[in-house]
Structure 1
Amino acid sequence: MSDRTSQRPPATPGTGHGRISTETVRGIVDSHRTRRTFWRRLTLIGPAFVAGAWQFGPGNLTTAMNAGALYGYTLIWVIIVSTILMIFLTDMSVRLGIRTPVSLISSIKDSLGTWAGVVAGIGVFLITLCFSVGNAVGSGVGLSMLLPGTSPVMWTVICTALVGTILLLKKIYGVVEKILIAIVALMAFCFIISAFASNPDWAAAGAGLIPVIPGGAWLLIIGLVGTNFSINAAFFASYGTKARERREDEYRDITIVDTIPGIVAPGIMTALVIVVAASVLGQTGADAPSAFGGLARIFEPVAGPVGAWIFALGFFGAAFSSMIPNCIAGGTMLSDAVGRGASAETLTARLGSAFILLFGIGVTLVFAGTSPVELIVIAQALTVLFAPILAALIIVMANNRTLMGSLRNRWWQNLAGAIGLIAVVALSIRLLVSLIGG
């Protein structure tokens, strides 16, 4: 055998001498893997967008409108802070969804006692029960604004029936994710167009990033934090993560493509609503219309009927996108709390979701023609009672060394969680004092 032959590297199965080299094959494989990785990351989008769609509902819009109308661009910073805190709590919930063997409530029962899991599940169910009214009314009013002269109650019934049909589908969560991602994209388009149509003072909007507390604004600030730092939506993110069977090795990609953008998107849209209201109504110092049907009309002076139509479309999207996960989350966590399973497809979960829908449409029919403002206040009161409990449970469970392993909270995550917990406790105390005193 010649020296040249003896110096040749050993043949590799599938390549051999005279064929493509091993290094070339590896390069081709790596390049294909890189291209697939990008698309695989996109398939991880879902649970956080569902949580974000849930938090961005009629109550959120109404509060943001009043913030812009009364205080101009001054309170935009509240949305930024709330969004950052929401990212941290949602991230903890996502990691819990990855690590819990069955569900978050089941793990809470195992670690802290059955009572703790039952309180969490029933608490979220009660919150969703009251939120269902605002969502039902908002979806009906949104469509009636798009099609003037039609009955909001009729559209409420149609939207409720549509959501009920979605609940009957198999593999509900995957279907809901696709619907909500599309609606969130539509809302983002509508509110971005609306913001530019209102011709705001962008320099003043930028100044709104600096924390300032105007006189008499505390209750409104509490309302903004309560609607944007939605602990119940963050809590449910663990269930979406578990339903999608996410793995620990996917956590980094989930954070990049789902958790951060899924929570930032509704935060940006809420800030844009404040910008719009500040631009159109801020100089008058007038309240935004308290009835949902009046919100779109603020665009008519600056963009005519088209501007009102665009905003109405975004408003409907906000109400309908919140309506779907609201009833699914309530039914699922009620089922889990009473030990009937952690899936949205259990009989108890479906019955619970159906009851939430029927409650929303029932109250809408009984109080047809009146504003649901009082019902939204009740929903916020229930949020006040249970938000600190849910936040504390998320933080405690995210620090469980046995359960979480390498995904256990780091010190800086605990710091952010502690700030969030203190914020919701302060929110609870302030609102309770206001409700008792009022």
Structure 2
Amino acid sequence: MKGVLNLTLGVMTAIGGFVDIGNIVTGGVTGARFGMTLAWAVVLATAIMVLYGEMTGRVAAVAQRATFDLVRERLGVRFAMVNLVANLLLALLTLAAEIGGVALVLQLVTGVQYLIWVPVVGAVVWLSIWRLPFKVIETAFGLLGLCLLVFAVALVALPTDWGELWHEMIHPAVPQGEALPTWLFYAISLVGACIVPYQVIFFSSGGREERWSIRNLREARGNAFVGFPLGGLLSLSVMAVMVPVLRPDSVDVKHLGQVALPVAQALGVIGLILTFISFFACTFAAAAESALSCGYSVGQYLGWSWGKWHRPSSAPRFHVVSLAAVIIATGFVLTTIDPITVTIVSVVLGAAAVPLTYLPVLVVANDREYMGEYVNKHWQNGLATIALLVMLVVSVATLPLLFATKAGQ
């Protein structure tokens, strides 16, 4: 049991990074609109996240330094500053999307307008990251997020054409009536939803919160090899369950409630309750992750005391940055901008900024001064280089596709 609980950091990172509001929405939209023809994007992103997640955990365990700490020292102050600004802006946008997502879940449950819930959610997110121990946060929300398995159960219960699903997965093609640029835009959205940059910062910093060392390498790798593939499978389940229910009627998914409809149809009230619990756990976990990532990145860059293992009085600036991030994100959502729109834009821009974060991880993982015998193997560097080239292509294509398709319209 202890070994299972030791994997909850990877599970929480997967739940809050892979299957947050971004992946729930994009999975629902793409499944209802394109079937499983974009499943390859989730598989690709999952493989990239496993590869770079393992490197990130290994750096945290062997060098006993968080990735952003090493980025500043080994790659220079200016490069790190560019990386810091990009990550902060994206983390804030993601945090706004997640706070809006939690509020939307509460609106679905209570019927109370989501804007009323937004400041409440912001306050609870802050209180959680301020008062709750790191282990409590990762364990509670990591395990609650597993309620997303209800999507896989619903898929089995529904009249699913498994042959058609499999055919679309292994023979991806633009569906009839859809344009190639729009199809590619949503492919990028899925990639961006799975490998959001703040995941690297959170996973690395979380390893330091748990005091990983060389003795914990197996645990670090277990988190990467179990948590991230689990997130990928859950994402595919969300996508797949849309196909037998929403796709035949060409339903255009516009809000979170529509994503829950297939589960409600298959499993009734119990399924709906579990769906709402999973939505809440995923979005709240991602909100906590992105808020903490703001404090982690700034604290590591400026050399402050950081981390939840410090009391707030011992690391006040770290907590102030996290609080400021929550306040800014909450205020942004209160402008009444559509949280779903924020979500789509955040995952797409996240895809554009991914190389800024993942390149330093690759560089540090090859630094023998810090990693010693635990530097990357040749095959790891080969795969990581191919993955980085894919991310560069995605990064270059993101903005043109965003404007050309009017954000997937």
**Scaled by the length of structure 1, what TM-score is found?**
0.82
SS at match of 2:10: helix
Matched AA of 1:157: P
Q: Distance in 2 between matches of 1:297 and 1:63?
A: 15
Q: Distance in 1 between matches of 2:401 and 2:78?
A: 29
Q: Which runs of 5+ in 1 are unaligned?
A: 1-38
**Residue matched to 1:412:** 379
Query: Does 1:173 pair with 2:134?
Result: yes
Which of 152, 173, 178 is the equivalent residue of 1:213?
A: 173
Query: Does 1:362 pair with 2:308?
Result: no
Which of 135, 140, 148 is the equivalent residue of 2:98?
A: 135
Q: Distance in 2 between matches of 1:304 and 1:314?
A: 16
Matched AA of 2:131: L
- Following superposition, the deviation at residue 90 of structure 1 comes to 0.3
- Following superposition, the deviation at residue 70 of structure 1 comes to 1.3
**Residue matched to 1:120:** 83
Give identity over the alignment, percent. 19
For the 8 Å contact 1:130–1:375, the answer to whether it is kept is yes
Answer with 1 or 2: which has the greater Rg. 1
Q: Distance in 1 between matches of 2:59 and 2:184?
A: 33
Matched AA of 1:49: V
- Following superposition, the deviation at residue 381 of structure 1 comes to 5.1
Q: Distance in 1 between matches of 2:70 and 2:358?
A: 15
**Residue matched to 1:44:** 6
Distance 1:249 1:299, change over 3 A: closer
Q: Distance in 2 between matches of 1:342 and 1:104?
A: 14
**Residue matched to 1:266:** 231
Matched AA of 2:44: V
For the 8 Å contact 2:58–2:221, the answer to whether it is kept is no
After TM superposition, the structure 1 = structure 2 runs for residues 127-276 of structure 1, keeping only pairs within 5 Å, are 127-147=90-110, 149-169=111-131, 172-188=133-149, 190-214=150-174, 216=180, 217-256=183-222, 258-276=223-241
Matched AA of 1:181: G
Q: Distance in 2 between matches of 1:402 and 1:185?
A: 39
**Scaled by the length of structure 2, what TM-score is found?**
0.88
- Following superposition, the deviation at residue 114 of structure 1 comes to 1.9
- Following superposition, the deviation at residue 192 of structure 1 comes to 2.7
For the 8 Å contact 1:126–1:382, the answer to whether it is kept is no
**Residue matched to 2:71:** 108
Q: Distance in 2 between matches of 1:193 and 1:146?
A: 22
Distance 1:117 1:50, change over 3 A: farther
Q: Distance in 2 between matches of 1:74 and 1:376?
A: 22
**Residue matched to 1:69:** 32
SS at match of 2:243: helix
For the 8 Å contact 2:188–2:351, the answer to whether it is kept is no
Q: Which runs of 5+ in 2 are unaligned?
A: none
Matched AA of 2:203: A
**Residue matched to 2:357:** 390
Q: Which structure carries more relative contact order (alpha carbon 8 Å, separation 6+)?
A: 2
**Residue matched to 2:275:** 311
Q: How many residues align?
A: 393
Q: Distance in 2 between matches of 1:58 and 1:248?
A: 34
- Following superposition, the deviation at residue 57 of structure 1 comes to 1.1
**Residue matched to 1:11:** none
For the 8 Å contact 2:145–2:279, the answer to whether it is kept is no
**Residue matched to 1:30:** none
**Residue matched to 1:380:** 347
Which of 390, 393, 403 is the equivalent residue of 2:370?
A: 403
After TM superposition, the structure 1 = structure 2 runs for residues 422-437 of structure 1, keeping only pairs within 5 Å, are 422-435=389-402, 437=404
